[in-house]
């Protein structure tokens, strides 16, 4: 079993993923920014690690990740302005990729958004006056860096619009690239958490992007399909 570090450990997806990873036999370290969040992390079966990754250099993140076997990036600026979105969702994410490599970690799971991709260096269909412009661009560019500029054993997860509905345990993977997140069914955060746990134990997901939404295929089967 692996030691898994979740970046953004107090997020709604991460708090659901930690107990699933724990139940699968993994040791879970959840990175949080506030000491006050530690009891929630412990209740989820993980060990809290207090650190502000947004403001840490690569060397400090490398030290933070030492001893881990896998990293799950589930952090984000949470809509807190364009500058912070770029700082967290792009810059800090890329520094964490570099740190993982320096720490000798191979496995890296990125939680992104449905159909994250670039066309000619830009996110298609999003204008600069769109309120989500910074988010889509920061995430897509970080994802592209992970795919093309690292040799990590990555998986990019692209759930559609998120809900707090009870998880069904079933999803539909749609990698056609023809749809946006609002054009397909939503995804429960519990299902995203289950997908995180499933892909970490499924070698067939390495170096794959999985865009998905709530659907009809059991998660373990869905992520293993070619």
Query: Where residue 76 sits, what CATH number does that domain have?
Result: 3.40.50.720
Using CA atoms, how far apart are residues 41 and 22, in angstroms rounded to an integer?
Answer: 12
The confidence score (pLDDT) of residue 80 equals 80
Number of domains the chain contains: 1
pLDDT at residue 144 tops 80: yes
Q: What is the largest CA-CA distance in the chain?
A: 46
- The pair phi, psi for residue 88, each rounded to 5°, is -90, -55
pLDDT at residue 182 tops 80: no
Look at residues 179, 89, 93 and name the one whose alpha carbon lies nearest to residue 139: 89
The confidence score (pLDDT) of residue 41 equals 98
Look at residues 75, 70, 20, 65 and name the one whose alpha carbon lies nearest to residue 44: 20
Higher pLDDT, 224 or 128: 224
- The pair phi, psi for residue 111, each rounded to 5°, is -90, 115
pLDDT at residue 223 tops 80: yes
103 alpha carbon, distance to own chain's centre: 19
pLDDT at residue 81 tops 90: no
Residue 108 lies in domain: 3-224
User: Is there a contact between 102 and 62 (Cβ–Cβ < 8 Å)?
Assistant: yes
The confidence score (pLDDT) of residue 46 equals 98
pLDDT at residue 123 tops 90: no
pLDDT at residue 72 tops 90: yes
Look at residues 137, 127, 183, 194 and name the one whose alpha carbon lies nearest to residue 160: 183
């Amino acid at each position: 079993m692996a030691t898994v570090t979740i970046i953004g450990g107090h997020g709604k997806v991460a708090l659901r993923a930690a107990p699933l990873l724990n139940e699968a036999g993994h040791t879970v370290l959840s990175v949080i920014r506030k000491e006050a969040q530690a009891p929630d992390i412990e209740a989820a079966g993980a060990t809290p690690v207090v650190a502000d990754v947004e403001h840490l250099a690569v060397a400090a993140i490398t030290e933070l990740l030492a001893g881990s076997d896998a990293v799950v990036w589930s952090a984000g600026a949470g809509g807190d302005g364009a500058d912070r979105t770029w700082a967290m969702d792009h810059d800090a994410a890329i520094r964490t990729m570099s740190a993982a490599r320096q720490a000798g970690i191979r496995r890296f799971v990125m939680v992104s958004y449905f159909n994250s991709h670039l066309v000619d260096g830009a996110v298609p269909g999003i204008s600069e006056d769109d309120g989500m412009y910074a988010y889509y661009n920061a995430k897509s560019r970080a994802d592209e860096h992970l795919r093309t500029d690292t040799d990590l054993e990555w998986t990019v997860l692209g759930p559609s619009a998120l809900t707090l509905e009870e998880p069904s345990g079933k999803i539909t993977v749609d990698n056609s690239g023809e749809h946006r997140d609002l054009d397909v069914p939503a995804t429960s955060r519990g299902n995203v958490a289950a997908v995180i746990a499933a892909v970490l134990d499924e070698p067939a997901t390495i170096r794959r992007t999985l865009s998905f939404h709530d659907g009809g295929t059991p998660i373990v089967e869905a992520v293993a399909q070619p």
